[in-house]
Amino acid sequence: MSRFGELDLGLVVRGHGRHYIVEDSDGQRRVCHPRGKKSDCVVGDEVRWAPSGSDEGVIEAVEPRRNLLFRQDEWKTKSFAANVDQLLILVAVEPVFSESQLCRALIAAEAAGIHTTIALNKTDLPGTESARERLKPYQAMGLNMMEIALKAQPEESIAKLTPWLTGKRSFVMGPSGTGKSTLINLLIPDAKAQVGDISVALNSGRHTTTTTQWYWVDAERQSALIDSPGFQEFGVRQVEASQLAHLMPDLHAHADHCRFYNCTHQHEPGCGVREAVDAGLISANRYRIYGEILAELTAKRW
Ligand SMILES: Nc1nc2c(ncn2[C@@H]2O[C@H](COP(=O)(O)OP(=O)(O)O)[C@@H](O)[C@H]2O)c(=O)[nH]1
Ligand SMILES: [Mg+2]
Ligand SMILES: [Zn+2]
């Protein structure tokens, strides 16, 4: 046991710059301050904390992480959450989703060893068939898929989501306008209360999602949804260029057939990946996005 082992174990449910909201083992939440760089943490971290003053706390240590979902842009690393069981990527029939962002999120999750489900929302809208078509390659490569209509068919949608989320800590990601708030409000009727007075005060009273927020779905605190703010950029610079194709299951499935063991699947002769693209076995979009990300990963910065 570490020298902090006798301290209460808390869960980081929200971050606000240099301080965090930590939920203790009784479910009570308080503002905590990290002690030095070593106790830098993210939502989902289990931390050893000690009371300080009348109602605050100090984070003394962060427990080892099971996983960490993050993006790495050109100049900064942004952590989404730690210790999550699964990722829900919410896309919608409208607005039309960016396939590049979708691929990047999938690569980050694969690199972190986190299972992903893609849910297509707003399937009451006329563009559903073409959205379904765009998602076919993702289904074909073995991803779990769901079709929902959170606003138009809330009961049916909840019935589909419930078995998937029960007993799990699920991170929800998706571009703005896809229905993330609708989802949270539907599954978590006391969402506002869970954000609570502390968070509202720290966040100067704003109710929009500006930081990652942890919500318990059930009173027993077994199932959680973690809501995150949208983002423009999604760098995956944590990935080694030579590993990129391994993190894209459809490309990976054909990389064994390349003549060269270190094939980049760009210009080499005898490339199994490009043959599969030509044969229509790998989506041309996915292959193009692979090339774009590879160029980012191999570009010289100066
Ligand atoms: N047609 C349709 N609209 C939906 C559905 N679910 C959510 N919306 C609408 O999509 C818009 C964006 O939803 P919101 O939950 O705020 O998305 P967020 O930006 O991801 O939080 C809102 O106007 C919702 O009412 C649905 O199933 N069908
Ligand atoms: Mg929202
Ligand atoms: Zn190749």
pLDDT, position 200? 66
* Between 13 and 16, residue with greater pLDDT: 13
pLDDT, position 196? 74
Residue 3 has pLDDT above 80, yes or no: no
pLDDT, position 34? 92
Gyration radius of the chain's alpha carbons: 21
Q: Is 140 in the pocket of ligand 1 (CB under 6 A)?
A: no
Task: Share the mean pLDDT of the chain.
Answer: 92
Ligand 1 atom having least distance to the Cα of 90: 20
Residues with CB under 5 Å of ion ligand 2 are 180-181
Task: Encode pLDDT of 50-97 as tens digits.
Answer: 999 888 999 999 999 999 999 999 888 999 999 999 999 999 999 999
Structural domains of the chain ordered from first start: 8-62 (2.40.50.140), 68-227 (3.40.50.300), 241-298 (1.10.40.50)
Task: Encode pLDDT of 20-57 as tens digits.
Answer: 999 998 999 999 999 877 668 999 999 999 999 888 99
Are 235 and 78 spatial neighbours (Cβ–Cβ below 8 Å)?
Answer: no
Q: Which residues, in sequence order, are CB contacts of 82 under 8 Å at separation 6+? A: 41, 42, 43, 44, 45, 65, 66, 67, 68, 69
* Model confidence band, residue 11 (pLDDT cutoffs 50, 70, 90): very high
Measured by CA distance, the residue closest to atom 25 of ligand 1 is 151
pLDDT, position 230? 76
pLDDT, position 158? 97
Q: Is 201 in the pocket of ligand 1 (CB under 6 A)?
A: no
pLDDT, position 204? 53
pLDDT, position 2? 61
Q: Is 121 in the pocket of ligand 1 (CB under 6 A)?
A: yes
Whole-model pTM above 0.85? yes
Task: Encode pLDDT of 188-207 as tens digits.
Answer: 988 887 877 676 666 655 54
Ligand 1 atom having least distance to the Cα of 209: 21
Residue range 111-130: mean pLDDT, rounded: 98
pLDDT, position 1? 53
Residues in the chain: 302
* Model confidence band, residue 18 (pLDDT cutoffs 50, 70, 90): confident
> How many CB atoms lie under 10 A from the CB of residue 269?
9
> Residue 71 pairs with which residues in a beta bridge?
78
Could you tell which of 91, 124, 182, 215 is best to mutate to test the pocket of ligand 1, judged by most ligand atoms within 8 Å of the CB? 182
- Nearest in space to 147 (alpha carbons), one of 187, 101, 92: 92
Torsions phi, psi for 210 (to 5 deg): -110, -15
Give the C-alpha distances (Å, rounded to integers) separating 232 from 28, 114, 152: 34, 22, 28
Task: Encode pLDDT of 236-272 as tens digits.
Answer: 999 999 999 999 999 999 999 999 999 999 999 999 9
